[in-house]
Amino acid sequence: MKTEIVRLSKKNWEKVAAKAAEIIRRGGLVVFPTETVYGLGASVFDERAVKKIFKAKGRPSDNPIIVHIARFSQLKELAEKISGIDKKLIKRFWPGPLTLIFKKRKRVSSIITGGLPSIAVRMPTHPFARNLIRKAGVPIAAPSANISGRPSGTLGRHLRQDLSGRVDLIIDAGPSSVGLESTVIKTEGGKIFILRPGAVTKEILEKASKLPVFFAKDKKKLQVSPGTKYRHYAPKAKLEIFESEKELKKTLQTFKKRKKKAKVLRYKNLKLMSKNLYRDLRSLDQRGAQIILVKAVSKAGLGVAIMDRLERAARDTI
């Protein structure tokens, strides 16, 4: 497949949106920017197009896809019931990096939901993403734009490397601003369960909702978010998390002895770490690093999402 690659600018903004919308409408695949990471999108109501997403990414078929909307009314096309609590959260956090799980409507193909009776939906903040969804006239099903198992795409160069020849159009709008995937939540019995931590943190959710918020860590809840069971976000190099400078020194000496090329990643703050982590993992891979060492951060606020991705990437197997 021939992939067209465009760099988005103020000048071509509307033209590119119209072109991308047309591709989505006729069953093609488009890589488009969101504020979290890039998405690999297709029309939610075109089963053949959605199947192509799984193929392009090499994604396991039981890993469900998030659907992106531009207006609240589109949620009603997808979700059976919207509870009062969900409505409140939507009012406070949409558009934004928060994905909610609903009971799906019959018309939503179970290919999108990986066979689950539920559907994940979010309204992105990125103005281009919302314009594209509006123009396409349908909600857009879009997982992160990367080959399955690799860090999500947050930069044009990395999107091209993973998806050239596999999609119709790649829209490069510069680096993603959040850099980590959205927070995925499910509300149940007056409680909020975080299935995947993200930039909308436990603390932020608690403060806004005044409800108890839990991380869904147990096996039963993880089955509810199948994607989280796979090895994920991983560079080709081996990733190791270190706790202290002393530990780092020791580890570096060992690798030096073994003649392994080790690189250390450090960040000034959590926001910059979230924004640049995937970009840096990929760049170090390309520069031939065999080991990537990243300093652990404390598991509070945005630190929870960062450590979640790091720990998954450091795992050897699923």
Token duo for residue 232: 């994920």
Q: Which helix (H) or strand (E) holds 178?
A: none
Look at residue 34 and give the partner it binds from Mg ion, ligand TXA, none, a contact being a CB closer than 5 to 8 Å depending on partner kind. ligand TXA
64 scored as a contact of ligand TXA (CB under 6 A): yes
Q: Which is nearer to ligand TXA, 119 or 270 (CB)?
A: 119
Give the distance, in angstroms, between the CA of residue 45 and the centroid of all CA atoms in the same chain.
21
Q: Shortest approach of ligand TXA to residue 8 CB, angstroms?
A: 16
Look at residue 63 and give the partner it binds from ligand TXA, Mg ion, none, a contact being a CB closer than 5 to 8 Å depending on partner kind. ligand TXA
Residues 303 and 19: their CA atoms lie apart, in Å, by: 38
Beta strands 39-43; 262-265: pairing state: unpaired
Look at residue 64 and give the partner it binds from Mg ion, ligand TXA, none, a contact being a CB closer than 5 to 8 Å depending on partner kind. ligand TXA
The full 3-state SS of 105-138, as one line of letters, equals CCCCCCCCCCCCCEEEEECCCCHHHHHHHHHHCC
Pick the binder of Mg ion from 144, 154, 183, 187 (CB under 5 A): 144
148 scored as a contact of Mg ion (CB under 5 A): no
CA 94 → CA 76, 124, 182, 211, 318, distances in Å?
Answer: 15, 7, 12, 18, 32
Residues 214 and 228: their CA atoms lie apart, in Å, by: 16
**Rounded to 5 degrees, what are φ and ψ at 66?**
-80, 140
227 scored as a contact of ligand TXA (CB under 6 A): yes
Q: Which is nearer to Mg ion, 36 or 201 (CB)?
A: 36
Look at residue 201 and give the partner it binds from Mg ion, ligand TXA, none, a contact being a CB closer than 5 to 8 Å depending on partner kind. none
Q: Which is nearer to Mg ion, 144 or 201 (CB)?
A: 144
- Do 121 and 79 form a contact (C-beta atoms < 8 A)? yes
Question: Which of 143, 151, 160, 97 lies closest to 280 in space, CA to CA?
Answer: 151
Q: Shortest approach of ligand TXA to residue 248 CB, angstroms?
A: 30
Residues 179-208 that bind ligand TXA (CB under 6 A): 181-182, 184, 195-196
Phi/psi-derived region of residue 86, left when phi > 0, alpha when psi is between -120 and 50, beta in every other case = alpha
Of 112-120, 138-146, 240-248, 288-296, which part binds Mg ion (CB under 5 A)?
138-146
Q: Which is nearer to Mg ion, 146 or 209 (CB)?
A: 146
Look at residue 141 and give the partner it binds from Mg ion, ligand TXA, none, a contact being a CB closer than 5 to 8 Å depending on partner kind. none
Of 108-116, 118-126, 142-150, 241-249, which part binds Mg ion (CB under 5 A)?
142-150
Instruction: Report how many residues bind ligand TXA under the rule CB under 6 A.
Output: 29
Residues 276 and 279: their CA atoms lie apart, in Å, by: 5
121-147 burial by CB neighbour count: b if 16+ within 10 A, else e?
bbbbbbebbbbbbebbebbbbbbbbbe
Q: Shortest approach of Mg ion to residue 257 CB, angstroms?
A: 36
113 scored as a contact of ligand TXA (CB under 6 A): yes
Residues 117-176 that bind ligand TXA (CB under 6 A): 118-120, 142-144
Report DSSP state, residue 170.
E
Q: Shortest approach of Mg ion to residue 190 CB, angstroms?
A: 30
Residues 58 and 144: their CA atoms lie apart, in Å, by: 12
**Site residues, ligand TXA (CB under 6 A):** 34, 36-37, 39, 63-66, 97, 99, 101, 113, 116, 118-120, 142-144, 181-182, 184, 195-196, 224-228
**Site residues, Mg ion (CB under 5 A):** 144
